[in-house]
Structure 1
């Protein structure tokens, strides 16, 4: 396990490609089965994003949001805030 100083050093050295538009948002989300399966595929872009996000702080707040932009074939996830706003109590 990395110490906080080691993690900060590693994060400072991370280089993200300019060709990918990274997105972010809440980590409270619900994924459709199709989208979750797509996020686990060996699609070249998804695989490289998984490898990139494996070593960053708070990856879930950006990984799925970024994959969603490039995974047109997979049905999107639903925001938990959106789901909760439509619930009747």
Structure 2
């Protein structure tokens, strides 16, 4: 499965921001659930000199290995099922 261009562009922006020292972790409130989220942000400057925080995503709560299923190397259009699903990798 190919990574879409917008995701690749955002990732490259994050790498550039990190390399330039312009990456921040900001505590925010989830707009839907109201939960606290720790959000990765690129830091920029507005024309008037104010800082701009551009959010790119939040850190996974709990164990990130439980939150995501990796792509199946045998079939890149599918994902390896969670062992709790009764499936096998």
TM range (shorter): under 0.3
With normalisation by structure 2, the TM-score equals: 0.27
With normalisation by structure 1, the TM-score equals: 0.27
Greater helix content: 1
Greater strand content: 2
